[in-house]
């Protein structure tokens, strides 16, 4: 047990971070090269100002017409993504780990806040799950991989929540927590979660096409 814990919290962390960073770079670079070769026009039309203009409208809550049309989805999506990124980065327990290993530290969340934010992530995942199952247009697009992706995202938060509250078997859960966090990191570049790395490019490109060429707004 202990040996496995050491492995999960030692070498596997390294491996998962390396896979996450290198995998993301790999995806970005191969796409950039592929685009140069097969879609050279992407480079010709990409326009920094209009890309930023579009991205800006889409990372501000209710910045686009569709976000205003779907208020519940918008609130949940923003809350989810903010918490999803902030909790692992600013959780006191995580900051401590960085401090211990690398002697670097930064601002952290109060435990109470982190707890609420974790619940928001879990709640959002449930919202997404229910939405996926009940809204016909979403259900129609759904494949098993979408549930798996959702599970990959939810798992570190559920297990972390468990561990924090020291519920039964939390020691084992801690291992699951670390493991699921690592799985999620690795999954980012190689699954649909890659929307995280590609968002600025797809949105930016559409923003450039609409703004610079077509003189229109895309939000």
Partner 1 sequence: MAEPALKTGEIFDEGLDKGIAKLTPEKIEQVVSSVLANETGARLRVYTDTCVHCGLCSEACHFYLSNDNNPAFSPAGKVKQTLWEILKKKGRVSPEFIKHAAEIAYTECNLCRRCSMYCPFGIDIAYLMLVIRRICHKLGVTPQYIQTTAHSHAATLNQMWVKDDEWIDTLMWQEEEAQDEISDLRIPLEKEGADVFYSVIGPEPKFRAQLIYQAAVIMNGAGVDWTMPATPGWDNSDMCMYTGDNEVMGRLKRAHFEAAMRLKVKRIVMGECGHAFRSVYDMGNRWLTWKMPPIPVIHALEFYHDIFKEGKIKIARKYDQPVTLHDPCNVVRGRGLHEMSRYVVNQTCEKLIEMEPNREHNFCCSAGGGVINCGPPFKNKRVEGNRTKAEQLFVAKAKGAKTVIAPCHNCHGGLEDIIHHYGLNMELKFLGDIIYECMEK
Partner 2 sequence: MHDSGKWDWETGKKEVSDIGKWMEEFEWIEEPYVSPDGEKVASVVRTGDEMEFTACVNGTAWENTFDKVWYLRFTPDNRLTGLVSDMGEWTVAVDDQVWENRFEFVWNSMFGKDGRNIAIAAQKERKYLAAVNDTAWEHGFENMTNLTVSPDGERTAGVIQTVGFGETEFLKFQEGCYSVAVDGKAWGRNFVNVWELAFSPDNRHVAAEVRTNLYDYTIAVDGIPWKEMFASVWKPQFSPQDESVTAPVKIGGSWTLAQDGKPIWGKKFIQVWHHMYSPDGKKLAAVVAPEFGRWTIAVDYNAWELTFGDLVTDAVFSPDGNSVACVGKEDDKWMVAVNGTAWDGKFDMAWQPVFSPDSIRVAAKVEKNGLYTILADGQPLGKESEAAWDPVFSPDGKKLLIRSIREGKYFREVIPLT
- Among positions 18, 32, 44, 119, the unique one binding partner 2 when judged by CB under 8 A: 44
**Residue 43 touches which member of partner 2, partner 1, none, C-beta under 5-8 Å by kind:** partner 2
Nearest Cα to Cα of residue 202 among 188, 184, 218: 218
Residue found under tokens 């879609």: 39
Q: Judging by beta carbons within 10 Å of its beta carbon (0-12, 13-18, 19+), is residue 159 exposed, middle or buried?
A: buried
> Of 26 and 43, which CB lies nearer to partner 2 in the complex structure?
43
Residue 60 makes contact with partner 2 by CB under 8 A: no
Residue 34 makes contact with partner 2 by CB under 8 A: no
# residues near partner 2 by CB under 8 A: 5
CA diameter of the chain: 61
Binding mask 75-114 for partner 1 (x = CB under 8 A): ----------------------------------------
Residue 215 makes contact with partner 2 by CB under 8 A: no
Nearest Cα to Cα of residue 59 among 190, 212, 192, 196: 196
**Rounded distance, CA 160 to CA 171, Å?**
11
Residue found under tokens 């326009």: 47
- Note whether 65 and 219 are within 8 A (CB): yes
Q: How many Cβ atoms from other residues are within 10 Å of residue 16's Cβ?
A: 21
Q: Judging by beta carbons within 10 Å of its beta carbon (0-12, 13-18, 19+), is residue 195 exposed, middle or buried?
A: exposed
- Give the shortest CB-40-to-partner 2 separation in angstroms: 4
Residue 202 makes contact with partner 1 by CB under 8 A: yes
- Among positions 41, 93, 96, 148, the unique one binding partner 2 when judged by CB under 8 A: 41
- Give the shortest CB-154-to-partner 1 separation in angstroms: 15
Per CB under 8 A, residues contacting partner 1 are 31-32, 34-35, 37-39, 41-42, 44-45, 54, 58, 64-66, 69-70, 73, 135-144, 146, 192, 194-195, 198-199, 201-203, 205-207, 210, 213-219
């Amino acid at each position: 047990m202990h040996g496995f814990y050491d492995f999960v919290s030692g070498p596997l962390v390294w491996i998962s971070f390396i896979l996450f960073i290198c995998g993301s770079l790999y995806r970005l670079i191969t796409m950039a090269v592929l685009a140069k070769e097969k879609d050279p026009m992407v480079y010709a039309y990409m326009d920094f100002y209009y890309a930023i203009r579009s991205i800006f409208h889409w990372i501000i809550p209710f910045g686009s017409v569709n976000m205003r049309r779907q208020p519940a989805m918008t609130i949940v999506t923003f809350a989810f993504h903010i918490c999803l990124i902030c909790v692992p980065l600013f959780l006191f327990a995580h900051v401590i780990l960085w401090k211990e290993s690398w002697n670097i530290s930064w601002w952290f969340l109060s435990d109470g806040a982190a707890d609420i934010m974790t619940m928001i992530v879990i709640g959002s995942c449930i919202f997404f799950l229910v939405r996926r199952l009940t809204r016909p247009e979403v259900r129609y697009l759904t494949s098993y991989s979408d549930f798996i992706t959702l599970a990959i995202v939810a798992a570190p938060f559920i297990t972390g929540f468990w561990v924090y509250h020291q519920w039964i078997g939390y020691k084992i859960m801690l291992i699951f927590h670390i493991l699921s966090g690592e799985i999620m990191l690795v999954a980012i570049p190689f699954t649909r979660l890659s929307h995280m790395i590609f968002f600025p490019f797809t949105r930016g490109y559409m923003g450039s096409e609409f703004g610079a060429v077509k003189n229109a707004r895309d939000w």
